[in-house]
A and B are shown apart, each in its own frame.
Chain A
Amino acid sequence: MSPMAPPAVGPVRIEVRGVVRREDFTLRLDTAISEERTAVIGPNGVGKTTLLRLIAGLERLESGELKIDGRVVDNAGSVFTAAHQRSVAVAFQDHRLFEHLRVVDNVAYPLRRAGLKRAAARNRAGDYLAAVGLSEAAMVRPAQLSGGQRQRASIARALATPARVLLLDEPLASVDDQSREDLRDLLTSTEHRTVVWVTHDPDDARYADTTLTLTSRTLNRASSQP
């Protein structure tokens, strides 16, 4: 379905071994994500969001090493690839839409960064909005959207990036049941992208190829789905 499909290669492998320290907790990581669809589960405050932020380049390792697609992007020292150069897209739990832009221009934003002209970017953004069922809200400002609509807009924006890694933080938390089904279908139909999502809902985890469980601030091993 992707209007701008990345080249047909396998899933991106993400390997992380190291420590992230936040004010309130320390996260020790030793894992690899290598499937197309991975769900991250675990209790509140365990560091699920921090893991996504680390992969996206919004946090730094205190020690250890993070590799994306075989390349070291953070070695807790001399190497640190900035977020905008990692080709990793994020749909934040709190949406973070650009309030000064119309909804369609929010989704067109990454397309503009990829070099598309305004009209072409809007055109393609329309396709992503249609995919998340938000076509009718294209020309309004985000402030006029409901919580569920905001979430769908932020997912559309992440999908519109050319990034081969999509990180979704509680992507289905505030949408209604019908939308949830649609979005699940959408997320499971992406091709040639590695999708990692954080969730509370065991139902959502079922759609993943693997589940990564974070416990007591130490992550480890991915377990394969039955």
Chain B
Amino acid sequence: MIRLPRAPLPLLVPAMLAVALLVVPLIGLLQRAPWSSLGTRLADDAVLEATRVSLIVSFSAAGLCLLLGLPLAWVLARVDLPFPRLVRAVVLLPMVLPPVVAGAALLFALGRRGLIGQWLDSWFGVTLPFTTAGTILAATFVALPFFVTTVESALVAQGRDLEEAAAVNAAGPMTAFATVTVPSIRGAIGAGLALGWARALGEFGATITFAGSIGGRTRTLPLQAFLALESDPESAVAISVLLLAVSLGVLVGLRGRWLTR
């Protein structure tokens, strides 16, 4: 005997519709997948190379989110900034900006003839477009807001109480941050990392526009899938299945390790 979940119908029905909306396209993808040749398609050198680039890029971007985004989230949550709404909107902007526009914006800023890029190029000989570093930057740009908003809302919810408690126990601001603030929001940090990482893994538009597409350097799995659509659509589906599997694996793994005590 199956016991139906005890939930009011007006909540249950839309909830099931939402699940359907999310799951049906995935099923569509899976039923189109070339299962019999999946192994050989994914063992293709170009796909393996793209997988390597994707893993390097997405984890580096997640690392940069932690390194830059954690302090940013703290500043947003704790410091009285001028124009706080404007600052928050700017931080959120990459979430709503079409990724292709984001890539163009990155080019105008950091490209060889860009606002800052021209000085990077002429002073240090550093050119970011068409490099793995550029790909990581593009991925970080789009992933950062996901991490920052997740962590910031946890910090706001937590309030200053614990930091005050640390202060009256002789912990300076940095010590309090490291020993009290960060450990007590580690669930939110894990969730933010998972979101940012997933966004970085799926990133396409900003990458293709800013970093171009070359195997082993800037061509991530989504780019490889896009390219495969031109010549071998089944291969594109196979890559999408791989992307799904990798992200599902990492997200489920993270949930087990990070998001619960």
A and B physically associate: yes
Interface 9-residue window, one of A38-46, A62-70, A87-95, A129-137? A87-95
Q: Is the CB of A161 within 8 A of B165?
A: no
Q: How far is the CA of A87 from the CA of B167 in the complex (A)?
A: 10
Q: Is the CB of A161 within 8 A of B170?
A: yes
Q: Is the CB of B168 within 8 A of A83?
A: yes
* Chain B residue at smallest Cβ distance from A97: B165
Asked if A47 is an interface residue, CB under 8 A from chain B, the answer is no
Q: Is the CB of A84 within 8 A of B167?
A: yes
Q: Is the CB of A89 within 8 A of B165?
A: no
Residues facing A in B165-182 (CB within 8 A) are 165-173, 175-176, 179-180
Interface size class of A (residues with CB under 8 A): 20 to 34
Asked if A48 is an interface residue, CB under 8 A from chain B, the answer is no
Q: Is the CB of A98 within 8 A of B170?
A: no
Q: How far is the CA of A157 from the CA of B169 in the complex (A)?
A: 8
Contact A90:B183 (CB < 8 A) given known A96-B161, A113-B175? no
Q: How far is the CA of A88 from the CA of B166 in the complex (A)?
A: 12
If over half of A's interface residues share one DSSP class (helix, strand or loop), that class is named, otherwise mixed; here it is loop
Contact A96:B164 (CB < 8 A) given known A110-B169, A113-B169, A113-B171? yes
Asked if B186 is an interface residue, CB under 8 A from chain A, the answer is yes
Q: How far is the CA of A96 from the CA of B160 in the complex (A)?
A: 10
Asked if A176 is an interface residue, CB under 8 A from chain B, the answer is no
Residues facing B in A102-150 (CB within 8 A) are 109-110, 113-114
Q: How far is the CA of A110 from the CA of B167 in the complex (A)?
A: 10
Please indicate the chain B residues that have their CB under 8 angstroms from the CB of A163 in the complex: 170
Q: Is the CB of B161 within 8 A of A84?
A: no
Asked if A185 is an interface residue, CB under 8 A from chain B, the answer is no
Q: How far is the CA of A96 from the CA of B161 in the complex (A)?
A: 7
Please indicate the chain B residues that have their CB under 8 angstroms from the CB of A161 in the complex: 168-170
Q: How far is the CA of A161 from the CA of B169 in the complex (A)?
A: 7
Asked if A11 is an interface residue, CB under 8 A from chain B, the answer is no
* Chain A residue at smallest Cβ distance from B168: A90
Chain A window 4-33, contacts with chain B (Cβ cutoff 8 Å), 1 for yes, 0 for no: 000000000000000000000000000000
Q: Is the CB of A84 within 8 A of B171?
A: yes
Q: Is the CB of B168 within 8 A of A89?
A: yes
The 27 listed contacts between A and B (C-beta, < 8 Å) are A57-B167, A57-B168, A58-B167, A82-B172, A83-B167, A83-B168, A84-B167, A84-B168, A84-B169, A84-B175, A84-B176, A85-B170, A87-B170, A89-B168, A92-B161, A94-B161, A96-B161, A96-B162, A96-B164, A98-B166, A98-B180, A98-B183, A98-B184, A101-B183, A109-B179, A113-B175, A114-B170
Instruction: Identify the A interface with B (CB < 8 A).
Output: 56-58, 82-85, 87-90, 92, 94, 96-101, 109-110, 113-114, 157, 161-163
